[in-house]
A = this chain, B = another copy of it.
Amino acid sequence: MGSAHKIVSSGMENIEIMGLVAAVLTTYSIVPQVHKTWRNKSTKDISLTMYMAMFLGVVLWLIYGIYHESVPMILANFITAVLLFVMIVLKLKYK
């Protein structure tokens, strides 16, 4: 029974670690795009509508996270919003 309890409790921890990894991945993912765009100074293939809709959505997630006092949601969505804003500026600069 001791080892069964151990499996269940480590399973519950794992799902929260998975949520954290998910937040880091979806937030981090914008970085290589910013890096590529910054280096190549070309945004022909990039959809401005995508970045504007995603930015607006992430800002709403940020407000939702502030309301629900969720620190991971606030941090992840704040950093993502900043990165998406940089992409929008780069798209408008190099369009």
Contact = CB atoms under 8 A, between A and B. Distances in A.
A40 B32 contact: no
Contacts of A28: 53, 57
Nearest to A53: B29
Interface in A53-95: 53-54, 56-58, 60-61, 63-64, 67-68
B61 A26 contact: yes
Number of copies: 2
Contacts of A51: 29
A37 B32 contact: no
Interface of A: 15, 18-19, 21-33, 35-37, 40, 42-47, 49-51, 53-54, 56-58, 60-61, 63-64, 67-68
